[in-house]
């Protein structure tokens, strides 16, 4: 059986790398084809292409960095894991250099793909 915490820890590393590189393409590859991402206060985004566009809009406004860490993981069955993570986020606006820092809680529903890779099927988060 898979160690669910190791899966979520690896996701956190890949997530942190994509966001901190402001790489919307790399970010979108963390998601399954039928994924849904629900940003706080926004409409759900469906599939990697919509998710990529939503993420790129953020990068167009500011430079993002995140330090992400796994908090908990629950193996639902061989192909599903519920993961909880936390992130410390900093943004620097392109327009005026204004810096914002905040913490987020992330919840991921991960599904093991036929390739053996774990991808995000659902993602929700809130600001702390």
Residues 87, 70 contacting (CB under 8 angstroms) = no
> Token pair for residue 90?
């900093």
**Closest to 13 measured CA to CA, from 80, 93, 83:** 83
**Closest to 7 measured CA to CA, from 115, 93, 111:** 111
Per-residue confidence (pLDDT) for residue 2, from 0 to 100: 86
On average, the pLDDT of the chain sits at: 97
- Burial of 125 by CB count in 10 Å (0-12 exposed, 13-18 middle, 19+ buried)? middle
Domains of the chain and any CATH numbers: 4-127 (3.10.450.50)
Per-residue confidence (pLDDT) for residue 5, from 0 to 100: 98
Residue 1 has pLDDT above 70, yes or no: no
This prediction's pTM: 0.95
Residues 48, 123 contacting (CB under 8 angstroms) = no
Place of tokens 């993570």: 85
CA–CA distance, 30 with 33 (Å, rounded to integer):
10
CA–CA distance, 36 with 41 (Å, rounded to integer):
15
pLDDT (tens digit per residue) in 25-64: 999 999 999 999 999 989 999 999 999 999 999 999 999 9
Per-residue confidence (pLDDT) for residue 26, from 0 to 100: 98
CA–CA distance, 28 with 88 (Å, rounded to integer):
20
pLDDT (tens digit per residue) in 71-114: 999 999 999 999 999 999 999 999 999 999 999 999 999 999 99
């Amino acid at each position: 059986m898979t160690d669910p915490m190791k899966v979520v820890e690896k996701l956190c590393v890949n997530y942190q790398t994509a966001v901190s590189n402001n790489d919307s393409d790399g970010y979108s590859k963390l998601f399954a084809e039928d994924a849904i991402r629900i940003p706080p206060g926004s409409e759900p985004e469906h599939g990697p292409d919509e998710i990529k566009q939503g993420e790129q809009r953020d990068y167009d406004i500011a430079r993002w960095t995140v330090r992400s860490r796994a908090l908990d993981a629950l193996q639902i069955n061989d192909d599903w894991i519920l993961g909880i993570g936390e992130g410390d986020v900093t943004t620097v606006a392109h327009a005026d250099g204004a810096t914002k820092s905040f913490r987020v809680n992330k919840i991921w529903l991960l599904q093991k793909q036929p390739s053996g890779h774990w991808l995000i099927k659902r993602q929700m988060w809130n600001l702390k």
